[in-house]
Amino acid sequence: MSKLLKNYLSPPAFSFRENAIKKARASQLTSSLVDVCKLMGIPPLPAPLADSLTFNHVQIKPGQVIYSTGQPFTTLYIVYSGFIKTTLDAAAEDEQILDFPMKGDLLGTDGIHRKHYTSNAIALSHCNLVMIPFDVLMEIGKRSSELEVGIYSIMSRELIHKQRMLKVVGSLSAEERVAHFLTALSARFSALGYSDKEFKLRMTRREIASYLGLSLETVSRIIAALDRSGLVAVDGRSITINDSYRLKTLRRLPQVNVSKNVFANNSHNESYTAPVA
Amino acid sequence: MSKLLKNYLSPPAFSFRENAIKKARASQLTSSLVDVCKLMGIPPLPAPLADSLTFNHVQIKPGQVIYSTGQPFTTLYIVYSGFIKTTLDAAAEDEQILDFPMKGDLLGTDGIHRKHYTSNAIALSHCNLVMIPFDVLMEIGKRSSELEVGIYSIMSRELIHKQRMLKVVGSLSAEERVAHFLTALSARFSALGYSDKEFKLRMTRREIASYLGLSLETVSRIIAALDRSGLVAVDGRSITINDSYRLKTLRRLPQVNVSKNVFANNSHNESYTAPVA
DNA sequence: CGTACGGTTGACGACTCTCAAAACTTGTGG
DNA sequence: CCACAAGTTTTGAGAGTCGTCAACCGTACG
């Protein structure tokens, strides 16, 4: 067995060299390789050392940077709990949101190619992350082709998701993009065992807008319109999806003609009370 | 040595099961693992079997489908020569272009996750592709962690590229997108040893438009405007880049006020001769 | 209690899409 | 080898979606 792996089999002392993590207290939690596989949704390893190997967790506070562009790449992270945003060009006002990783998602794979991260990962809430040193992962991969395929699979999934986002941002209307965003979020919550009807957004309107290639005002307006139409009920960041089918298949929201048709043929008329004051 | 690998060490008889490839004549060309690594730009393998292992090539004609959405995933392809487009939703008019792979690019990685391809790959020209059966790759990976890291690296690079495209499509103006497209294409040609000043586009305006999240008319108009401004010279699909710096840093093309300023302060005035006829 | 930040809403404008027509290119079959 | 058909590209006119600018409100936090 390699020296690297042998060292890693003893849980207690593991020195943190991550710059951004310095201030974070290391959690007492650790995860076995089996836990990690379960978390990522890849087939659990029948390998002999799957149970004895443990990975340390790290606690992150809201707003804290997990890694940022240019930092040397050493570690992959798996979200154990909490919500995160990944961005390009952290420069305050023109950050480009790439994704909103949550439980089970793998972070940092973009760092593999150039040996340093090419994006930023920032916590949107208190987070608990599993740290997977890349060199350790490589060592295990040599012994288990199942894990190897698993990692390829996860990266493939990321690629598929980015492909879909390219279509969303490149060819859908603003309303379709927001509807897609809410639908996709609902599906992810559902997959994690949470309610797919009621959930809280963990990101700002600005962040949603950047993610979807829109302005924050447009996002705000469309969310308000969806609320008025009755498809979803919105209260700040609390979302309740009332008609997931129509939301999923939405193409164009019926125009609100201010001067006409106010009392006429709108299905959910209870949401039209007291237009302005 | 595994049975799989042993079979693969004998070059001659390799049965093609790819549906789309049936009609294509198999080239007499083969590539060794060393060739493949060189082609992809990853460190050549010092492994013992790197030279004896060979991969068959396949010839593809323009317009031919290399793989399509839903097909069972078995094979990765490396572009040896030629130009390709990858798309989502091949449905005639609303296809979404994902990328324009060329020499050295790896195709098909999106198929790993669900065991079937989730995109389409279609030849834009005569192409010569190296076929890498995924199971063979896994076998080699077990023996060579360098190759393994290499594959991770390639997928990481793809991810980085998709991230950049998300920013391009999500936050740049139409002019910036087209300028970025030409600049990036120029850089890729340069990296392959071709001229970065003069090259031929292998794709239609419609395909460029879809790739950039624009309408084909907008792309056509902007290319025409770039030509008028003198930054590039355009003749159909032939592109000559005259001012790569200004093209790279272009934010907004100066408006052409038809009635005013025609003779005034435009730098490249030679391109203004004979406006329409 | 003031400041900062997030969110909402309105007015306006422009960037880009759609529709349309025509010129040009490419391929095909007689 | 030419004629016709189909696809590509260009260009114009008009419209609409969405971005920008701005004001205002609510909430959190020091």
Give the C-alpha separation, B75 to B65, whole Å. Answer: 14
pTM of the model: 0.86
How distant is the Cα of B264 from the closest Cα of chain A, in angstroms? 35
Taken in order A154, A160, A166, A167, the sign of the CA dihedral is: negative
Give the whole-angstrom CA distance, residue A34 versus residue A252.
46
The C-alpha atoms of residue A235 and residue A212 are separated, in whole angstroms, by: 21
**Nucleotides in chain D near protein beta carbons (<7 Å):** 7-13, 17-22
Residue of B nearest to A172 (CA): B213
Q: What is the spatial distance between Cα A26 and Cα A60, in angstroms, rounded to a whole number? A: 9
What is residue A41's predicted lDDT score, i.e. its pLDDT? 87
Q: Mean pLDDT for each 10-residue chunk of chain A (277 residues)?
A: 65 41 54 89 72 88 95 97 92 88 97 97 96 92 84 96 97 97 98 96 97 98 97 96 95 59 39 34
Nearest to B181 by CA among B160, B210, B146: B210
Candidates A138, A155, A211; nearest CB to B149: A138
pLDDT on residue B42? 84
3-state helix, strand, coil in chain B (%, to 5): 40, 20, 40
The answer to whether A216 CB sits below 7 Å from nucleic acid chain C is: yes
Residue of A nearest to B165 (CA): A166
Q: Give distance CA B263 / C1' C12 (Å).
A: 33
Residue owning tokens 């059966």: B133
Tokens of A101: 């990783």
User: Minimal Cα–Cα distance from B272 to chain A, Å?
Assistant: 33
Interval B197-239: pLDDT, tens = 999 999 999 999 999 999 999 999 999 999 999 999 999 999 9
B213 Cα to chain A: minimum distance (Å) = 4
Q: List strand D contacts in A 17-46 (CB < 7 A).
A: none
Amino acid B170: pLDDT: 96
Q: Tens of pLDDT along chain B (277 residues)?
A: 566 776 676 444 334 444 444 444 444 589 988 888 889 888 877 656 666 789 999 999 999 999 999 999 999 999 999 999 999 986 767 899 999 999 999 999 999 999 999 999 999 999 999 999 999 998 888 888 888 899 999 999 999 999 999 999 999 999 999 999 999 999 999 999 999 999 999 999 999 999 999 999 999 999 999 999 999 999 999 999 999 999 999 987 666 544 433 333 334 333 333 333 2
CA nearest to A138 within chain B: B145
Can you read off the two tokens belonging to residue B8? 């693969």
* Cβ separation A160–B213 shorter than 8 A: no
